[in-house]
Amino acid sequence: MASTPDLEQRRAALEAIADEIRQCTLCPLYTGRTHAVPGYGRVDADILFVGEGPGYHEDQQGLPFVGQSGHYLDELLGKIGLTRAEVFITNVVKCRPPNNRDPLPLEIDTCTTTYLHRQIAIIQPKVIATLGRFSMGLFFPPNARITRIHGQPHRADGRIYYPLFHPAAVLRNPNLRPDMEADFKRMLDLVAAAQPEVPPPDEPEDEPPPRQLSLF
């Protein structure tokens, strides 16, 4: 199917950001990278996954979630009938922190204000699924604990934020698998329940609002 001009423009804008990321020198992480990892997927994805940052394999290939965590993410997507080409996957920081250490506040602030928020504005996902605590920390209060709030959708800014465990945490602790898989299974319901940013023009004004999700 031919893509609309709007979609072409959005794709070009996203690719321009990816080019900026590949040349970025705004924080010290660039000094250790092999490849920056801007993200992968559909420009008009309903679901945006935000992980923490590239690891060894992602740094080698320039693609997000291509190591063990990525294989598990693919498996989880497969269980709900999706592939990575049908969503968008990116990270809080786009360059690998040395020895996979936690990203620092300055690195997170620089990378998200310069790139992630612009990517979100272009993709306009209905659901932002956060993978792990650093990603969750961007959209949820600082005292939020992943073990308590995973799988609890939160509606704000016309979309749904959905906190999930990081796939690597689930691989390390297989007891988390049933929760992770149950959280994934709700994802398509969340997409269906998310309100579009702009209602379709032919929608009658007096139509009752769509059923609300039970959100906290």
Q: Name the residue type at position 119.
A: Q
Of 39 and 125, the one with the shorter C-beta distance to ligand URA is 39
Instruction: Say whether residue 58 binds ligand URA (CB under 6 A).
Output: yes
User: Residue holding tokens 């992943």?
Assistant: 146
Of 136 and 193, the one with the shorter C-beta distance to ligand URA is 136
Report the alpha-carbon distance of residue 65 to residue 70 in Å, rounded.
4
Of 72 and 149, the one with the shorter C-beta distance to ligand URA is 72
Q: Name the residue type at position 109.
A: D
- Sketch the per residue contact string, 37 through 56, with ligand URA: x for CB under 6 A, - otherwise: --------------xxxxx-
SS3 label, residue 111: helix
For residue 27, the 8-state DSSP code is S
Instruction: Say whether residue 112 binds ligand URA (CB under 6 A).
Output: no
Of 57 and 186, the one with the shorter C-beta distance to ligand URA is 57
Report the alpha-carbon distance of residue 183 to residue 187 in Å, rounded.
7
Q: Which residue is nearest to ligand URA (CB)?
A: 51
SS3 label, residue 154: strand
Site of interaction with ligand URA (CB under 6 A): 51-55, 58, 64-65, 69, 91
